[in-house]
Amino acid sequence: MNEALNVAARLDESPWSTYQKWVTLLAAIALIFDGFDIQILGFAIPSLMHDWHVPRGDFGAVLAVGLAGMAIGGPLLGYCGDRFGRRISLIFCVTIFGVATIGTAFVHGFFGLTALRVLTGIGTGGALPNVSALVAEFAPLRRRASAVKLTILCLPLGGMLGGMLAAWVLPRFGWRGLYAAGGSLPIVFAAVMLVALPESPMFLVRHAEKWDQLIRLLNRMGQAIPLGSSFAEPAERTDTKKRSLRSLFAPALARETVGLGIAFFFCLGSIYLVFGWLPTMLTTRGLSIATASTGLAAYNFGGVIGILIWAVLVPILGSRGPMLSGSLACAVSALALLLVPIQVHGEHWLLILCLGINGLLANAVQTSMYALAAHVYPTSIRATGVAYSSAMGRTGGLLASLFGSHIIQVGPAAYWESLAVAMVVAAGGLAWVRSHYPAIKDIGTASRVAANV
């Protein structure tokens, strides 16, 4: 009888093949559509206000239920990814938010808009944990953090590309045309994934009836595996065999789960406080809408740069140092904004620069947390673990969206101080996590550990 092969160890010791990179690209494109459909309502609100003759404030609840849908969809569809497979769950997520987005093109009131916004949130919330798990399980350990982070980079890219599409579609076809386009493209791509996207090798190895499919997949990845080979199922912690939220709080994982939950809650709460309320806060200080919009754009652009920088730093230095220092530096940058002079009729380059730095640090830490969650949890509950962490972040974002106006009412100092405090607490959560991604000098030891994960 052939000796059982350890797929995890073999992939971790092998090069990152062209086929593995192709799978990563497919997953990344799914997140581009995810990022667009998350933000599509924000692009459409001005047109909806004009067509329906309603004030902007009436859309606050609709935005909030979208985040609630994401908080529900993440754990639910993350569990489905662990139970039924990453591939089919991801395709289902993209189809759900594509269909819901197209359906929104035909609504005529807030009831339909709200209901479909919930469905959109469920689909977009479920896509991220399945993409993170799929990409993590196709990448060798030394490339895993970078692969997950660069994939998640496609979420803000989706928002940027969505803005470009909206600028062209809205004047010509209105908000209904924008929703039709924003839903049709994901559905077409779901059909492409149905043909081209393979299942995760770490999911297939747990199902003996799928080993022939696993052998064909490994051969496409450059692994010479003969037909009839047998595989060793990952020797995961015995108390994590059940794919449920309870398993995340088993003795071996409880500390990691609590630390990640705190970090996600406060870091994403900080980010959504900026996404939802930064323009309003700046305009209340007398700045023009154009300047406020430029400030938010600088925050997002800084985030893209930060994600790229931390994608290099984390594999070299490990995740603990860059993530803790990034969180604390982000808090300092928020407090520094208290010292930036605001002149209504003057240059605002210093404000724009500081917002870009704050966005760079906040988004670098936030995307690193997804890679960390994918590293911390074993294969059998990886998507569930990432989904739980993501849901904690969405909950923090929802509360920030609901209470941001009250913070602004207190004053600008309260706004910047809230951002700073949130990132300090996030740093505390990250410090509580023990199983950080190892530095590149420790990768040999980490590979042996990962073979059991």
Q: What is the pLDDT of residue 345?
A: 66
pLDDT digits 0-9 by tens, 114-139: 999 999 999 988 898 888 888 888 88
pLDDT digits 0-9 by tens, 288-297: 756 776 777 7
Q: Say if 7-229 and 245-450 have the same CATH topology.
A: yes
Q: Cα dihedral angle (163, 167, 172, 177), rounded to 10 degrees? A: 10
pLDDT digits 0-9 by tens, 204-261: 787 777 777 777 877 787 777 767 666 666 555 434 444 566 788 888 888 999 999 9
Check if CATH label 3.30.56.10 holds for domain 245-450: no
Provide the pLDDT confidence category of residue 58 given band limits of 50, 70 and 90.
confident
Check if CATH label 1.20.1250.20 holds for domain 7-229: yes
pLDDT digits 0-9 by tens, 310-330: 878 888 888 899 999 999 999
Task: Kindly report the average pLDDT of the chain as a whole number.
Answer: 81
Q: What is the pLDDT of residue 244?
A: 60
Burial class (CB in 10 A: 0-12, 13-18, 19+), 171: exposed
What is d(CA 40, CA 182) in angstroms, rounded to the nearest whole number?
A: 8
pLDDT digits 0-9 by tens, 158-178: 776 776 677 778 788 888 998
* Ranges of each domain in the chain: 7-229, 245-450
Dmax (CA) of the chain:
80
